[in-house]
Amino acid sequence: MAEFTAKDVMKLREQTGAGMMDCKKALTDADGDFEKAGELLRERGIAKAAKRASKVAAEGVVYALVDGKKGVLEEINCESDFVANGEKFRALAEVIARQILASGAKDVSELLASDMGGGKTVETYISEQTGVIGEKIAVRRFVVCETEGFLETYIHMGGTLGVMLDFACAETAEVKELAHNLALHTAFTKPAYLAAEDVSEETIAKERAILMQEVRNDEKMANKPEKVIEGIVQGKLKKFYEENCLLEQKFIKDDKVTVKQLIASVSKETGVPITLKSFVFFVRGEGIEKKSEDLAEEVAKQVRAAKK
C-alpha cells in the first residue's frame, strides 16, 4: 500500500470539501492515489464536482498588457506582498510584458534568454532587479494573444487574478461594456473550457463513469431501471457543462440567461456580429506551495547569521 501523509489528507479536504475521516478513508481505499481518492469521494456523494484550484500560495502579480492587436497575460512572483505592491516590482512587470511582446518568446526559457539590448538578457535583468528589490523574482508563466478584433483584460485586486478575452468583432461602446462584464464573469466563475465542444471525449467518459457510480451508490436509486439512472446522469452532465464551460454558464448578473444567450442578444441589439474566440486567466500563486516557517525560529536564524 502506498503511503500518504496528513498533509495529503488536508489537501484532499481543501479540494473536495469532504470531512477529514472521509478523505483519509478515500486515500486508504485508493492506495494513496490522490486523483483516485478524489473520484471515490465523488462516487460516494461526499465531494462536490471538482473545480479549478484557486488557493493562492505565493506572492507577486498577474499583469496584463495590450499593445494594438497583441496582448500578454503574465504571472511574476516574489517573496512578499510588500514587494509585490511596490512601484519597482510593478514597473518590472511592465518591462517584462513589453519584452515578451517584442521578443516573440514562446515560453519562459526563450524569454529569459532573449536580448533586451546591449547584450543584456532578461535573465540578467531579473538578476539585477533581484539585487535592487531585495527578493527573489521569478517569471512563472505567460500567454500571448493576437486578435483580429480586440482584447479585453481585467486584473482583480491589484494582481491576485487576471483575465484576458479575445473578441473577433468591432469594438463599439456596447460591445466593450459586454466584454468588461464577461471579463468580470470569467474572473468570478473561473471556467475550465470555452464551449461544450472543447471538452474532450476522454474527460466526458470519465465524468460519466463517476456520475454513474455516484447515482448507483445512492440508496434511493436502488432497484431503479437503468433508463432512469441514465436520465439522471445525463442531467448531471448537463450541469457539468453549465458549471465548467464559459458559454454555457449562467451570467452572474442575470441568471436567466447564459453567456452564449447574452452575447447573441447584444449582437442582435447592436447589429454587430460578436464572437468570443478564447479566454485565459491566471490566479496568482495557483499550485505553488508556500514555505511556512516558525516565526521564533526565523528570528533565531537571523540572530545566528548576524553573529557569524
138/236 Cα distance (integer angstroms): 41
The residues near 284 (Cβ < 8 Å, ≥ 6 apart) are 56, 58, 59, 60, 61, 62, 75, 77, 159, 160, 161
Q: Edge-to-edge strand order for the sheet containing 276-283?
A: 150-156, 161-167, 276-283
The cell for 276 is 468570443
55/29 Cα distance (integer angstroms): 26
pLDDT of amino acid 86: 94
What's the CATH code, domain 59-168?
3.30.479.20
Helix axes 201-216, 34-43, angle to 10 degrees: 50
Q: Does domain 1-48 have CATH number 1.10.8.10?
A: yes
Residue type, 189: T
Domain boundaries, the chain: 1-48, 59-168
pLDDT in tens, 129-187: 988 888 889 899 999 999 999 999 999 999 999 999 999 999 999 999 999 999 999 99
Closest Cα partner for 55 from 291, 284, 292? 284
Domain 1-48 and domain 59-168, same fold? Reply is no
Lowest mean pLDDT among 33-47, 88-102, 213-227, 264-278: 33-47
Q: Which residues pair with 163 in a beta bridge?
A: 154, 281
pLDDT band at 53 (very low <50, low <70, confident <90, very high): very low
- What is the overall mean pLDDT for the chain? 88
pLDDT at 102 over 90: yes
pLDDT of amino acid 1: 56
pLDDT of amino acid 21: 84
pLDDT band at 289 (very low <50, low <70, confident <90, very high): low
